Structure formats: structure tokens, C-alpha cells
Structure 1
Amino acid sequence: MSKFSKGYFTMKEADVLEYAKDVLNCFDFDAVLSCKEIGDGNLNYVFRIADEKSGKSIILKQAGPCARISEEFKVSPDRNRIESEILQLQYQLAEGFVPKVFKYDPIMNCCIMEDLSDHVIMRKALMEYKKFPLFADHITTFMARTLLLTSDVVMDHKAKKALVKNFINPELCEITEDLVYTEPFFDCSRNDVFSATREYAKRELWADETLLLETAKLKFEFMTNAQSLLHGDLHTGSIFIKEDSTKVIDPEFAFYGPAGYDVGNVIANLIFAYEHAEAALEDQQQKMDYKGWLEETIIQVMDLFVQKFMALWKEHGTERTSKYKGFDSYYLDNILRDTAAVAGCELCRRILGIAHVKDITSIENLEKRARAEKICLSIGKTFILQRGTLKSGRDFMDIVKNWEEKIK
């Protein structure tokens, strides 16, 4: 009996090589295999297995019993089952925008999938000031299709409820409830706050009772609104990209929640890239050019999402009441409201919480980093408080540019 059938254990590179030879049927019998651990995320272990003879390669992703970011976070390895199943569903709904899954092993809690080594992580590419003209079109197609086509607007309601049950994800949802909606908005001992930003956060966020009330509302809306099957962590570190291809990865946070959660995460992380360019680029012409592209991308992400969502509604809406005049606009307005709120929470939590983004922490000039953090916090707060008024990409960018002018 193979040791891989006896029970779960966390694999090392040597174990993965043995697993590939004993369990997987992905390589030729005479393959010369190598394995390297390439994961740098907060949760999982990711290995690349390659045949040195043929050049063929695959990715093995294993879920451990706790998050790599901190052993305080005990998380169910079932998240790898969730990730495998949602990737397969998303592949059906938006083919070409997620990696193909070859196998899921429930004993070893691992998923074997397509290798995307010819792509790069989008966050890293944006920090190198690369442009991706097709990104806005790609990501809005992915979001519009996966968010609308998994909702009650389109699905049989019993079938949709079965998916809600299948993708219950309490441990990962608890992390989101704590790290996104709760801890950034008080002086939590687990927060990791840049010293030059602390007093600003204390004055402008933690002491603002109006803001705190709104975040409480948002937290409970997140916990109780089973609207669409979300990716749940759709930031630029969860996107592999190259000039003509966009692949969304790492949906282990997937569950049924408010559709605007995914859209808001994309917007917030593009704003992090925007503020990184503002702080880190010295050449003014390069800065203006790159920020101009990011600005146009943010605007397109919002506006193309709206256009595609409404077009898909007309084409695929099956629920009788979805045909009532004005209901589509009402439904979309709620998604845009949630988009703004989530973008705001993401901007705040990545500055004040335990899980930062390199866009900001890599800014070497400490004064410029402090300015970037204060800008992000102020944009985030404004998005939350004014979430009912933001309907277009231009509305979002006006707030971004306004705070850049105010905070010098």
C-alpha cells in the first residue's frame, strides 16, 4: 500500500517527486522528473513538477492544516477540494480564464493543475511597470460570467442552493470577516501598522464612529448575502498574466457571498499599483504614462463589467421577476455599492492588518510610503462612506485623484 493512501501528511519536495511517480499518471514511464516548491502565498504549499526530457510540467498544490502566514489561523484542508471544484466550474463558465484541473486527491488534500510558468504574477508585473492592454476585457468577462451565471437570476433556485451548501467555507470566511471587516478598524494587537501611519489611522479610522458603524453593516452583509459564487480573494497576487492571457488562480476562499466582493478587490489592488507608481517612479514622464494606463484600466474594469453584466442579464436571465422593468438596474446598483465598500475595506486592511501588499511595503522612501498609506486609507474610507454614489470608473478615479491632491 502506498504511503499516500494511508492518510494525510504535509509533503516536502522529495515526497512530491515520489507522489508523481507512484500516484499520478501525467508523465511518460521514462520521464526524468524534478520538483521545486514555488509557493510564496499565505496559505498553501505549491510545487512545480517537470519532466526534464519532454519539458512537460504540472503544478501540485497542497493545503496544510494551518495558514503559512500564521499558525493562529487553523484552516480546513477541505479548502483544496473547494478550490478544485470551483476551478472546474469556472472553467465551464469562463473557459480560458482559469487553469485546467487534472486531479484532486482528497486523502493528500492536493490539487494537480495546469502549469502557468509562461505567465507572471500580476502584482509583480505591475511593480515592474508592465502594461496589459487586454486585462480589463479579460477580467470583466471572467467576473460578469462567474458572478451572474451562478446567481438566482440565472440558476434554478434549488440547484443554486445546492452549490451554496457545497461551498460553505467557514474557516476561510472567518479569516475574511476578521482581517477585512473587523481588525483594521480598531487597534487590534494582531495588526501590523507602519509607525508613521499609526496616528493617522487612530485619528481618521479608529476614532470615527460613523465609519465603524458602516463597517459593522458591511460585515453582516458579507456574512448573510449568498448572492453569487465568489472567488473570494481576487487580488493581483491571484492573477497570472501575460500580454494575451489572463488566468485567475487560488480560489480557496470561494463561497456564496455578495458579488461586489470580487469586483471591489480587483479595483483596490489596481489602486495599490497606482499608488506604488506614484511613490516609486522617479521619472515624471514614465510616472504620468504608467499611471495614465492604470487609470484607464480601473475605469474600464468598472465600466466594462457593468456593460457585460447587463448584456448577460438580458441573454441568460431566467427568473421571472428578473424581467420586471428596472429590476436589473436595482440589482446592479447593489453590486456597485458593494464593490465600492469592498474596495474601501481592502484598501484599509492591506495597510493596517496582518496581510500587506508589496506594492506599498516595497516603497523604500519612508516618507513616500507613509504618504501612500495615508492616501490609500483615505480613499478606502471615502469609498465606504460614499458607496451608494459610485456608479462608474470615473467616480472611483475622481476620489483617488482628489486624495492625491489633498495629501502631500
Structure 2
Amino acid sequence: MKDFTSAYFTMNEADAVEYAQKRLDIFAEAADLECREIGDGNLNYVFKVVDRRSGQSIIIKQAGPVARISDAFKVSPDRNRIESEILALQGELAPGFVPKVYSYDPIMNCCVMDDLSDHEIMRSALLKHKKFPLFADHITTFLARTLLLTSDVVMGHKEKKQRVQQFTNPELCEISEDLVYTEPFYDCEQNDVFEGTKEFAREVIWNDETLKLETAKLKFDFMTKAQSLLHGDLHTGSIFIKEDSTKMIDPEFAFYGPAGYDIGNVVANLIFAYIHASYTIEETEERNDYLQYLEETIIQVIELFAEKFIQLWDETVTEQTATLPSFKEWYLDSILEDTAAVAGLELCRRVIGIAHVKDLTSISYAEDRATAEKICLTAGKAFILQRAGIRAGTDFVQVLRQSVNQFSKGAISDDNTSSSHSISPVR
């Protein structure tokens, strides 16, 4: 029998069953429990515990002192406390968009939450070219509410500063500072670059001193701009989805930072899905239809967020100076500029850094993968350098189309409408 009350240890599947039996008051006394470790992320262990009799199930997520991706990453298990607390808060601010949290255990560094097995990880669904017409509406409601309602625009300033302290997250922020803002922009030993992409990365990214300066500015914004309480890692691998439901998970990178960080991550990962579809859907009409759907979704994410943000601002603003004429427009404008910048950073770091995305790595032809990654780097660089002029959803799509056009045998029209496409993968 294991002792779960004295000191931390990393659990296995049998331990998780025993933990559920001894430490949780969730299952019936006669429950017949089984467990499977299902974590596929870079940091944590995720145990799905199921009662074979009733079918009832929960998730136990445990945070260890090192990352699963590498023992070199020493990370505080306090991230599990942060995740538990922010999920509870987000559940209040944006009801229905996060899993319910049942408990947090500071000794075993684990939290217990709803099992979302009736949903699918969004990245996996997009790789199968599924459509989710409600996603843009769902994600923008979540973003507008969690980002604005945790800001100085709405909160009392003392309360907000206390919350900044509550969600100070130095170890996880350091990972983002290194992997997102620093290492992708020079020939770092830790970088993992596909051979067919490496010389392009050297020429277009690593040798561009202007780009380095701009990413340095953005890094200091990330470190010093405590604007809103962020999810901190809001990519399509951190979203569970089904036709009528969207749930955000894994907010362990949560901290107070620039609001555009979360939005930019969403946009960039929709672009990854777009690039993947470009090189994996063989039938032209089907491919064009799916690319148009993703373009429209990107546009809707930007436009609906801006619309909902302004409406919510008018309903909830408490800070007197924030009611001055044109202030909210200036504030939103700065968020959208940061959104473009972060979209660019994410596009670059997932190609050059150590944390890749399956959207690119699963492209089977080496030449196609290299071209897909070059498109991402080209678009990423443009988003960063041109961020001052990127505001509308159609601006984001135009940068994407222009980048594709540089490498595609076909052509994508450069107008501001989602029109027909002709992308010819290189084979």
C-alpha cells in the first residue's frame, strides 16, 4: 500500500487506481477501477481512471519535477496548483469552456478533473480534416471573457496585482522565453530542424538582424506586460472539441502577460492545420473546400474576438481612464498587433525549436515537408515584421496566402475574400 500523504513520488497506473480508491470520494465503494496513462504532452503524466461497472471516469493529472520531454527541463510541480486554480477561475469567467476540477493535492502534485473522452483533441481532428462551425464562436467567447475580465480595465487594481502574484509562474515562463522568443532565432544547439529546412532557416531567420531585434522587443513585452491572465499554451493540442462543445485544457503555463499571446497561438495553429491540409488532401475540390473553411475560421476568430471584446468592455469597464474616447480602440489595437506577432513566433518556433507539431512532421514526402515548413517560416517572419499593419482577419489570411504563393506551383488569389484555391503540392 502506497503512502500518498507524506511525500511526492511519480505514480504509475496501479498507483493511480489506489490513489483514486484511498484519496478520492468520487467512485462508489464497490467500483471496479482500471487505469491507463494517456499523457502525450511534453511535461506531465495523465491517468484515466474508469469504473468498469458504471463507466464513470475521471482524469488524474500529475506534475513531476522534470519535464517528460527532457530531464534537462527542471520545472516546479507548482504548475499543477496553477492549473487547478486557473481552471476553477476560467470556469467562473467563461462557464462551459473548461473541464470541472474536483480536487488538487499539493503533496502528490496532482489535480483531478472531468474526463473529456467524448471530445477529441482538436489537432487530431483537424489532421483528419474535420470541421467545427461553432469553434470560432466558442473560442472567442472564452478569449474575450478570460482576457478582459482579468485585466485592469475591469478588476480593482490591488486585486489584480494580488492575482498577478498568485499566478507568477517563473519556470514555465522561462521555457516560453527560451523556446518561443530566443532559441528559434539563432543557430542554437538545442534546436531540432528538419534537414530540408535548415539552410532556409539559416538564411531567412538566423541571418536576419532586423528580425532578431524585433523578437527581442517582443520577448521583453512578454516578460514585462502583465496585461491579462493567459492560458499560456493555447494551441490545438490544448483544446478538446466536438461538434457542439469546445473545452480548453492544460493551462499550466498560465501567467499574467500580453493578451495577444493566447489569440496568436490559436491563429498559428489553425495555419498549421491549413498547411497540413494543403499537402495531404489529394482531391482538389475537397482540398479547396477545407482550406476555405480554415481561412474563414481564422477570419472569424479575429473579427468575433474584436466584436465581443468591445461589447464586453462597454458592459464591464470600471477603470475611469479606460472610458475616455478612443481608449478601448487603442487598447484592442495593441492586442491585435501582439496577436500577429505571436502567430509569427509560434509558426517559427514549431519549425525550428524542439517542440514540433504533427501538422508538419506527419507530412510524408520530405520535399513537401520542407516546403510546408518554409511557408510557415515565411509567414511567421511576415507576421512579426509587419505586425503594425495587421489587424483584420483578412490581413492574417492575406499574409498566409502570400507566403503560400512563394512556394506553390499553383496560385492563391491575393484578394480579401475566401475564393477558390489551387495549391499543387511539390512531389
Q: TM-score, normalized by length of structure 1?
A: 0.99
Equivalent in the alignment of 2:135: 135
SS in structure 2 opposite 1:147?
A: helix
Equivalent in the alignment of 1:256: 256
Kept after mapping to 1: 8 A contact 2:2/2:15: no
Equivalent in the alignment of 2:123: 123
Q: Quick one: which amino acid aligns to residue 273 of structure 2?
A: A
SS in structure 2 opposite 1:391?
A: coil
Is residue 385 of structure 1 aligned with residue 390 of structure 2?
no
Equivalent in the alignment of 1:332: 332
Give CA-to-partner distance per residue, 1:57-76, whole Å, 9 cap, x none: 00000001111111111000
Is residue 395 of structure 1 aligned with residue 395 of structure 2?
yes
SS in structure 2 opposite 1:16?
A: helix
What is the 5 A alignment of 1:340-355? Answer: 340-355=340-355
Alpha-carbon distance in 1 for matches of 2:334, 2:133: 29
Equivalent in the alignment of 1:9: 9
Alpha-carbon distance in 2 for matches of 1:61, 1:23: 14
State the 1:366 CA deviation. Answer: 1.0
Equivalent in the alignment of 1:155: 155
Gaps of 5+ in 2: 409-427
Alpha-carbon distance in 2 for matches of 1:50, 1:2: 20
Equivalent in the alignment of 2:112: 112
Equivalent in the alignment of 1:275: 275
State the 1:221 CA deviation. Answer: 0.6
State the 1:2 CA deviation. Answer: 6.3
Is residue 90 of structure 1 aligned with residue 90 of structure 2?
yes
SS in structure 2 opposite 1:241?
A: strand
Alpha-carbon distance in 2 for matches of 1:259, 1:337: 10
Alpha-carbon distance in 1 for matches of 2:98, 2:366: 37
Alpha-carbon distance in 2 for matches of 1:9, 1:137: 41
Equivalent in the alignment of 2:423: none
Alpha-carbon distance in 2 for matches of 1:2, 1:191: 40
Give CA-to-partner distance per residue, 1:233-288, whole Å, 9 cap, x none: 00000000000000000000000000000000000000000000001111111100
State the 1:96 CA deviation. Answer: 0.3
Alpha-carbon distance in 1 for matches of 2:403, 2:218: 23
Is residue 174 of structure 1 aligned with residue 174 of structure 2?
yes
Alpha-carbon distance in 2 for matches of 1:16, 1:29: 16
Q: Quick one: which amino acid aligns to residue 56 of structure 1?
A: Q
Q: Quick one: which amino acid aligns to residue 192 of structure 1?
A: D
Alpha-carbon distance in 2 for matches of 1:368, 1:178: 28
Equivalent in the alignment of 2:411: none
Equivalent in the alignment of 2:419: none
Equivalent in the alignment of 1:64: 64
Alpha-carbon distance in 1 for matches of 2:282, 2:192: 28
Alpha-carbon distance in 2 for matches of 1:176, 1:253: 9
Equivalent in the alignment of 2:425: none
Give the aligned CA root-mean-square deviation in angstroms.
Answer: 0.7
Alpha-carbon distance in 1 for matches of 2:253, 2:399: 29
Gaps of 5+ in 1: none
Give CA-to-partner distance per residue, 1:324-360, whole Å, 9 cap, x none: 0000011011100100000000000000000000000
261-270 or 66-75, larger mean C-alpha shift:
66-75
SS in structure 2 opposite 1:380?
A: helix
State the 1:170 CA deviation. Answer: 0.2
SS in structure 1 opposite 2:151?
A: coil
State the 1:309 CA deviation. Answer: 0.4
Alpha-carbon distance in 2 for matches of 1:24, 1:291: 46
Q: Quick one: which amino acid aligns to residue 299 of structure 1?
A: I
Q: Quick one: which amino acid aligns to residue 348 of structure 1?
A: C
After TM superposition, where is structure 1 displaced by more than 3 Å over at least 4 residues in a row?
none
SS in structure 1 opposite 2:4?
A: helix
Equivalent in the alignment of 1:284: 284
State the 1:30 CA deviation. Answer: 0.4
Give CA-to-partner distance per residue, 1:59-103, whole Å, 9 cap, x none: 000001111111111000000000000000000000100000000
Give CA-to-partner distance per residue, 1:184-228, whole Å, 9 cap, x none: 000000000001111111011111111010000000010000000
SS in structure 1 opposite 2:343?
A: helix
Equivalent in the alignment of 1:299: 299
SS in structure 2 opposite 1:3?
A: coil
Equivalent in the alignment of 1:308: 308
Alpha-carbon distance in 2 for matches of 1:187, 1:405: 27
Alpha-carbon distance in 2 for matches of 1:177, 1:12: 31
What is the 5 A alignment of 1:13-52? Answer: 13-52=13-52
Kept after mapping to 1: 8 A contact 2:164/2:226: yes
Alpha-carbon distance in 1 for matches of 2:195, 2:267: 26
Q: Quick one: which amino acid aligns to residue 119 of structure 1?
A: H
Q: Quick one: which amino acid aligns to residue 335 of structure 2?
A: I
Q: Quick one: which amino acid aligns to residue 357 of structure 1?
A: V
Alpha-carbon distance in 2 for matches of 1:386, 1:404: 17
Percent identity between the two aligned chains = 67
Alpha-carbon distance in 2 for matches of 1:365, 1:245: 34
State the 1:138 CA deviation. Answer: 0.1
State the 1:21 CA deviation. Answer: 0.7
Alpha-carbon distance in 2 for matches of 1:220, 1:391: 22
Alpha-carbon distance in 1 for matches of 2:37, 2:403: 41
Equivalent in the alignment of 1:369: 369
Alpha-carbon distance in 2 for matches of 1:190, 1:176: 14
Give CA-to-partner distance per residue, 1:9-50, whole Å, 9 cap, x none: 000001111111111100000001111101000000000001
SS in structure 2 opposite 1:256?
A: strand
Q: Quick one: which amino acid aligns to residue 121 of structure 1?
A: I
Q: Quick one: which amino acid aligns to residue 15 of structure 1?
A: D
Give CA-to-partner distance per residue, 1:87-125, whole Å, 9 cap, x none: 000000001000000000000000000010000000000
Equivalent in the alignment of 1:219: 219
Kept after mapping to 1: 8 A contact 2:63/2:80: yes
Q: Quick one: which amino acid aligns to residue 151 of structure 1?
A: S
